């Protein structure tokens, strides 16, 4: 997911804005350069100020997403660490640390995740964990800088483990969730070749971030934003 003179390959993926031909796809190398990245993630469709927190509900579960004050160095890039905790009946069922960074054009890059699924208080699985640059894993785009309908891009790539793909379907959707009603919402179609029957639509509101996720096929879940708090704090 977050400039000196670069090689042509780098320009194709990190330094030429967000037209559909420059966004990474499949297992293409991203060739990221640390000098192309900025400290803050302020893409309007998901600004990640440290201290910001989102609370969602989905089918009896609660999902709490918090932008920490921590960073993790990945490929020389100081990635923002975002903590994602899923609970059910007060028990943790999934605990994930995601790593994001924004380049100078405003693209949010997804650089990996450390995820654990729990059962009866014990780690059941770490499937889906990956880190860009490790074991062939490649960074992907979480959200493009200048979103346009029809853009299609890799969100993550770790062969056989994490191969999500995003496509922008609309920039003028409406979304109503417990936290509020939103216009001019960006809607994506999220798929993965690892589960070809699964299709989700995700909705991003400017100044807030993800407000709604709807399972279109391969499930029936609806994840809605309950609360949002933006609290900028000093980065450690």
Cβ atoms within 10 Å, residue 18: 19
Domains of the chain, residue spans:
8-229
CA 209 to the chain's CA centroid = 10
Q: Quick one: average pLDDT of 110-114?
A: 98
For 120-143, write each residue's pLDDT tens digit.
Answer: 999 999 999 999 999 999 999 999
- The CATH number of 8-229 is 2.40.360
Query: 12: which 2 tokens?
Result: 């194709």
The Cα–Cα gap between 119 and 30 comes to 36
For 46-91, write each residue's pLDDT tens digit.
Answer: 999 999 999 999 999 999 999 999 999 999 999 999 999 999 999 9
Choose among 47, 50, 144, 155: nearest CA to 111: 155
- Residue 71 φ then ψ, to 5°: -130, 160
Give the CA count within 13 Å in the CB-facing half-sphere of 11. Answer: 5
């Amino acid at each position: 997911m977050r400039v000196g003179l670069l090689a042509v390959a780098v320009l194709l993926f990190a330094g030429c804005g967000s037209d559909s031909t420059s966004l990474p796809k499949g297992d293409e190398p991203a060739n990221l350069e640390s000098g192309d990245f900025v400290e803050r993630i302020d893409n309007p469709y998901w600004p990640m100020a440290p201290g910001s927190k989102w609370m969602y509900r989905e089918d009896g579960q609660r999902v709490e997403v918090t932008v920490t004050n921590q960073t993790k160095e990945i490929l020389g890039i100081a990635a923002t660490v975002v903590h994602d905790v899923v609970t059910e009946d007060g028990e943790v069922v999934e605990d994930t640390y995601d790593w994001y960074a924004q380049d100078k054009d405003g693209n949010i890059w997804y650089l990996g995740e450390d995820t654990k699924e729990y059962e009866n208080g014990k780690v059941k699985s770490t499937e889906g964990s990956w880190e860009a640059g490790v074991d062939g894993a490649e960074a992907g785009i979480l959200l493009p800088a200048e979103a346009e309908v029809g853009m299609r891009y890799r969100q993550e790539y770790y062969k056989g483990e994490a191969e999500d793909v995003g496509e922008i379907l609309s920039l003028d959707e409406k979304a109503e969730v417990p936290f509020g009603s939103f216009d001019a919402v960006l809607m994506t179609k999220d798929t993965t070749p690892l589960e070809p029957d699964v299709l989700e639509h995700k909705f991003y509101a400017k100044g807030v971030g993800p407000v709604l996720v709807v399972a279109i096929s391969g499930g029936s879940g609806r994840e809605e934003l309950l609360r949002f708090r933006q609290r900028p704090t000093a980065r450690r």
